[in-house]
Amino acid sequence: MKEKILNALTEAVNELLGSSCDEIKLSLTVPKDNSHGDFSSNAAMIIAKKIGKSPRDTATVIVNSLNEKISNIASCEIAGPGFINFKLSGDAGAQIFLQLFNTGEKIGLSNTGNGKRVNIEYVSANPTGPLSVGHGRNAAVGDVIANLYKAVGYDVTREYYFNDAGNQMTVLANSVRTRYLQLLGVEVELDENAYQGEYIIDIAQAIKNEHSDFLKDTDELNIFKKYAVDAMFDMIKVSLKKMCVEHDVYFNERSLYDDGKIEETLQKIDKLGLSYKKDDAIWFKAMQFGAEKDRVLVKSTGEPTYRLPDIAYHVDKFKRNYDLIVDIFGADHQAQYPDVIACLKAMDLDEKKVKVVIYQFVTIVKDGEAVKMSTRKANYITLDELMDDVGVDATRYFFVMRRLGSHLEFDIELARKHSLDNPVFYVQYAHARISSIFRHCAEKKPDICLDKIDAENINPALLTEQEEIDLISHVAQFKDTISIAAKTCEPHRLTGYLEKIAELFHRYYNLHHVVVDDDEVTKARLALVILTQRVIKNGLEILGVNAPEKM
RNA sequence: GCGCCCAUAGCUCAAUUGGAUAGAGUGCUUGGCUACGGACCAGGAGGUUUGGGGUUCGAAUCCCUAUGGGCGUACCA
């Protein structure tokens, strides 16, 4: 329906301009105020200048030409400064309703991605400790974005990139060894910048249990390192599983060295004339790409910095032939990707395929106060503790409900609450309530079988209440909401949408009964709430949140 | 100093990416259960969108500028 109107509109504008208007983006949106019709376009205001007329005059011309084209579907009129508002006519609304109903369980899903391959890298925490709430936002955002892409027909790969070598691992291994020695009664102090969490002691204890004091005098750090890494990854994977996050690929940075990809990338950069030697180190000419100074790729010790493997890693992703590469980073990583992008571009790779999603930090609010956090010190709330406290549903939901650019205040008390001010429960409650209508209906009117309600035997013309019309009109926007959320990588659009749907439903529920004396009206209304429930269910599924039948 | 992000109701946040009268929740306040689940709903008050300029038919949104915050700014990852 929308397509038809948009086509007609495009055609009308083309006729007026005498040429194609491809480069102009005509919008056809659903206005928030329904007195402005079912659809609205700004076409006249955009092209008014080009043809040298006032917006309203332009609109008049467009409307005249449009009326012939779409007289059977909709009427249009001019409003405000030159908006063209469309009002669907006759049974167009009913047709839309039936169409939506016929899409069945899959409502909202589409295939606009057409099987294109997208790689989404998220979490990517190195195995140095339990996942923090910061990782939690990363995990939830990445996972929901992955689900969104899947919902619009992409072939999605979920990837976790990690590094279990280097300086941080040595610090970790040393921390474990110190704790181990302490357990054996040796008087040693924990180094100042060592990892101080309780979990280090647990690992040390495990080593002691297995090896007794045989490792007391060894200088070999590797055994401590291996123990620590394995233990950390176990912890991390348990947390992620609890959160219903599962990656398809775990990509170890070290493999880039083993496969010679680091060397290969370095040579390529050199060949392009983008690197030089100075003070025994190899530098990347980042200034050519707007950076304030050049960056080191390989230290004078011969060791690469993090930058080089990052570049090699992205080159590898390109080789794996993805149409889209999405990186989910916290704000503390925002400085590192421009170099990578610049380098990819220089290598003649299409850097537009890389989409870097940066989210701002999380503040945990407990008892009305912000909880300060530090990874090295032990005084932080882990993701596990958070999930145990407020539940997985609330955890996931809260992490994605804000725009990524804004800081997220995670209010633990609010997340725990089972009442309307907690948006998760508000939405879930709407879903459960609809199930309860079905239960009630089965009891009251056993003749009406839910499974037998289909487009053939319902009459949408009976849905005339304002609350019903509002609900239908919002349900109709589900698909667009998902595709916009996917395209922009903005999961909060979906939570906002679901809250709106839930609100419209609760209002409807309070004012009108679904199961009434008249069987025909009952069936039409049942169809509407079935549709509503499907929308909520699919929406929650994308968020990775349960849609309960009872609460 | 420089770079990126941010500033919207007392508080936490939206605003279909430049659209029409800036909306929700919370808090304050008034009302609604003989009802498919009151874990709900309806109403009221609350705003110069941090200040100041600019761009245009039209700005919370884009540009400049001032102020205030977050994160970066390593031959750490």
DSSP letter for each residue of A159-194? EEEE---SHHHHHHHHHHHHHHHHHTT---PPPTTS
How many Å apart are A298 CA and B31 C1'? 72
What CA–CA distance (Å, rounded) separates A529 from A471? 9
- Provide the whole-model pTM: 0.94
How many Å apart are A492 CA and B1 C1'? 36
Which strand B nucleotides have any atom less than 7 A from protein CB atoms?
1-7, 12-17, 19-21, 24-27, 32, 35-37, 39-42, 56-58, 70-77
How many Å apart are A178 CA and B51 C1'? 56
How many Å apart are A375 CA and B27 C1'? 35
**Smallest CA–C1' separation from A82: which nucleotide?**
B57
**Smallest CA–C1' separation from A481: which nucleotide?**
B16
**Smallest CA–C1' separation from A423: which nucleotide?**
B25
- We find that the CATH architecture of domain A2-88 is 2-Layer Sandwich (3.30)
What CA–CA distance (Å, rounded) separates A20 from A11? 9
Q: What is the mean pLDDT of chain A?
A: 90
| CA dihedral over A127, A131, A135, A139, signed as positive or negative | positive
Residue A13's CB is within 10 A of a number of other CB atoms, namely 24
How many Å apart are A199 CA and B8 C1'? 43
Residue A392: C-alpha distances to residues A241, A281, A389 (Å): 11, 47, 9
What CA–CA distance (Å, rounded) separates A335 from A16? 48
**Smallest CA–C1' separation from A504: which nucleotide?**
B41
**For position A311, what pLDDT does the model report?**
95
**Smallest CA–C1' separation from A550: which nucleotide?**
B37
Measured from Cα to the C1' atom, the residue closest to B32 is A510
**For position A20, what pLDDT does the model report?**
60
How many Å apart are A420 CA and B39 C1'? 7
Backbone φ and ψ of A295, nearest 5°: -120, 150
**Smallest CA–C1' separation from A80: which nucleotide?**
B20
**Smallest CA–C1' separation from A522: which nucleotide?**
B36
How many Å apart are A413 CA and B30 C1'? 28
pLDDT values of chain A reduced to their tens digit, one per residue, 551 residues:
788 888 888 888 888 777 665 556 678 888 888 788 889 998 888 888 778 788 888 888 888 888 888 877 888 888 888 899 998 877 788 888 999 999 999 999 999 999 999 999 999 999 998 999 989 999 999 999 999 999 999 999 999 999 998 888 989 999 999 999 999 999 998 887 788 888 999 999 999 999 999 998 888 888 999 999 999 999 999 999 999 999 999 999 999 999 999 999 999 999 999 999 988 999 999 888 877 888 999 999 998 998 999 999 999 999 999 999 999 999 988 888 888 999 999 899 998 899 999 999 999 988 878 887 655 555 678 999 999 999 999 999 999 999 999 889 999 988 988 776 789 999 999 999 999 999 999 988 888 878 778 878 899 999 988 899 889 999 999 999 999 999 999 999 999 999 999 999 999 999 999 999 999 999 999 999 999 999 999 999 999 999 999 88
**For position A391, what pLDDT does the model report?**
93
Q: Which two tokens stand for residue A127?
A: 């195995």
Residue A185: C-alpha distances to residues A90, A173, A194, A441, A524 (Å): 86, 19, 19, 70, 76
**Smallest CA–C1' separation from A332: which nucleotide?**
B71
A276: which strand partners?
A283
**For position A437, what pLDDT does the model report?**
94
Measured from Cα to the C1' atom, the residue closest to B21 is A33
ipTM over the 0.90 cut-off: yes
A79: which strand partners?
A83
The percent helix, strand, coil of chain A (3-state, each to 5) is 55, 15, 35
Strand duo A354-359 + A324-330: pairing? parallel
- We find that the CATH architecture of domain A423-543 is Orthogonal Bundle (1.10)
How many Å apart are A55 CA and B67 C1'? 39
What CA–CA distance (Å, rounded) separates A89 from A85? 13
Measured from Cα to the C1' atom, the residue closest to B4 is A334
Q: Which two tokens stand for residue A110?
A: 């589409």
How many Å apart are A302 CA and B65 C1'? 46
How many Å apart are A362 CA and B73 C1'? 22
**For position A360, what pLDDT does the model report?**
93
Residue A455: C-alpha distances to residues A102, A103, A294, A448 (Å): 7, 10, 65, 15
What CA–CA distance (Å, rounded) separates A384 from A391? 10
Measured from Cα to the C1' atom, the residue closest to B14 is A496
**For position A427, what pLDDT does the model report?**
94
Domain locations along chain A: 2-88, 167-242, 423-543
| CB neighbour class for A434 (10 Å; exposed up to 12, middle 13-18, buried from 19) | buried
Helix segments in A329-372, DSSP class H:
337-346
How many Å apart are A290 CA and B64 C1'? 21
**Smallest CA–C1' separation from A37: which nucleotide?**
B20
